[in-house]
Amino acid sequence: PEDKYYQLAYALALVNMSLADGCFEFDFRDSTVSYRATTSYLESIISKGALEYILDISCAIVDKYNDKLFMFLNDKLTISELMDAICD
* Digit-coded pLDDT (tens) for 5-15: 998 898 899 88
* Digit-coded pLDDT (tens) for 45-78: 888 888 898 899 999 999 999 999 899 888 898 8
Those residues whose C-beta lies under 8 Å from the C-beta of residue 79, and which sit 6 or more positions away, are 7, 11, 72
* Other beta carbons within 10 Å of 25: 13
CA–CA separation, 67 and 72 (whole Å): 9
pTM of the model: 0.76
